[in-house]
């Protein structure tokens, strides 16, 4: 089970929020509580969360007693941290996306999509054996969880660009006839009206 953290001021504004550690909004806290209601019947054998406060607080409000795993942090956006896709595109003069064009060095070095996928693979190496003993919950971030899903489905990491994930949403990965499969995706209190900008 994947739980994207609740809304923050930056996610609400469509700002790339990688390693910047900012809190949930009041709505984000409500979304986290709602996610907790959705997952109340699961029998978790392992619950992991990103160390960033927006994920840890989401886990807490969802009623999940999570272990911090530093591999679950969001994509390091480097010099694009705190900026919108619109602003980056205006500066560059073309239809930039992190998935297609990558990021630049800033206060942090930034990561390639492949580096994020390598972290996701390490998480899955830990998670897959635990799935044999019960349900697993990962509380983390939009881009990271989209890339992790691509890796889980044995797709190229850039496949994550084709799946949107809203703040406070719950998704369920499973197996269907021995094949990795999506059981439920981007489920929350509200149906999305447009793709998430963060």
**Quick one: how far is CA 32 from the chain centroid?**
14
Catalytic one among 7, 16, 29, 74? Answer: 74
- Neighbour-count burial of 190, counting CB atoms closer than 10 A to its CB (0-12 exposed, 13-18 middle, 19+ buried): exposed
Alpha helices, H only, 39-183: 53-61, 85-92, 98-101, 113-131, 142-152
| Residue 175 near residue 32 (C-beta atoms within 8 A) | no
- Residue 12 is encoded by which pair of tokens? 């609400």
114 catalytic, yes or no? Answer: no
Q: Which residue has the tokens 């609740």?
A: 6
5 catalytic, yes or no? Answer: yes
Positions marked active-site:
5, 74
């Amino acid at each position: 089970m994947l739980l994207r953290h609740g809304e923050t001021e930056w996610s609400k504004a469509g700002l790339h929020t990688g390693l910047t550690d900012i809190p949930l909004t009041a709505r984000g806290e409500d979304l986290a509580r709602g996610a907790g209601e959705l997952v109340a019947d699961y029998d978790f054998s392992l619950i992991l969360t990103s160390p960033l406060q927006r994920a840890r607080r989401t886990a807490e409000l969802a009623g999940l007693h999570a272990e911090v795993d530093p591999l679950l942090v969001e994509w390091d956006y480097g010099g694009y941290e705190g900026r919108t896709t619109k602003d980056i595109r205006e500066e560059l003069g073309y239809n930039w996306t992190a998935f297609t064009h990558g990021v630049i060095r800033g206060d942090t070095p930034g990561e390639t999509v492949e580096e994020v996928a390598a972290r996701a693979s390490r998480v899955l190496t830990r998670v897959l054996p635990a799935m044999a003993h019960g349900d697993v919950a990962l509380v983390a971030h939009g881009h990271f969880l989209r890339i992790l899903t691509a890796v889980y489905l044995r797709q190229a990491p850039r496949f994550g660009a084709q799946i949107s994930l809203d703040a406070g949403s719950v998704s369920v990965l499973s197996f269907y006839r021995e094949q990795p499969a999506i059981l439920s995706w981007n489920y929350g209190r509200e149906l999305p009206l447009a793709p998430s900008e963060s």
